[in-house]
Amino acid sequence: MTAAQQVALVTGATSGIGKAAAIALAAKGFQVIGTGRDTARVTAPAGVTYLDLDVTSDESVASAVKQVIDRFGQIDVLVNNAGVGSTGAAEEFSTTQTQGIFDINVHGVMRMTKAVLPHMRAQRQGRIINVSSLSGFVPSPFMTVYVATKHAVEGYSQSLDHEVREYGIRVLLVEPGPINTPFAGHSVEADTPMPLYAAGRRNYDQLLEKNLTGGDDPAVVAKVIVRAATDRNPKLRRTAGRTARTVNAVQRIAPARVFDRVIRRFNEMPS
């Protein structure tokens, strides 16, 4: 690593958006540390070093951040990408299951952020990039718990950005739409399914699979993450992909009732 080379830590970097982001940041000149729960069998791309990390564990997070600082001397960019999807109606999730999803998607972001902030504050600069979702600013029925976590990440990120900006740190959001990844196959299914939601759940599962198959390549999101990491005057939030850009534009100009109908039509639900 050269003296001027910046260091980026990317969680959930063994596949999908996280892996694409790690590769793109390395290509931009960053020394990249990618993480996953078990990286022993992962082949590291050029410029990427892998490290085991469980974002639900305070000890694992503290250990990983310390290892990166001890080895590379700094952390300039944190990309909080690790997360899990969920499918099913809100009523079908037990409280315990909901808490587990929040522990990964929300508390995982908070743990990682809390761990790097003292270091970034001491060096008077840093970027924390939180990978949100189209579901972070619009409803998505039958993904209610996942949507709730992404809305939480959005509120946390926007508020925290104001708290730390005076110390040279920015907290930024990247909001992908449907991306061609194994997201659906890795999503948590509701643990207490109810017959009255079965038809709606099946319809949504089929729609999700279709949208993901026709979705953008993870490299599209990676490019947006690199811009958030490197732009001199970064935007607080950036959409990534065709669908996210389109829905964001419609939301900004359409009256609430019209947008409500758009959401139901997009999700193939009765008027």
Give catalytic residue positions.
146
Backbone angles phi, psi at 192, to 5 degrees: -130, 65
CB 248 within 8 A of CB 239: yes
Backbone angles phi, psi at 32, to 5 degrees: -110, 135
Under DSSP, the state recorded for 195 is G
Residues 6 or more apart in contact with residue 134 via CB below 8 angstroms: 140, 175, 176, 177, 178, 239, 243, 244, 247, 248
CB 153 within 8 A of CB 109: yes
**b/e per residue, 13-46, with b = 16+ CB within 10 A?**
bbebbbbbbbbbbbebebbbbbbbeebeeeebbe
CB 240 within 8 A of CB 221: yes
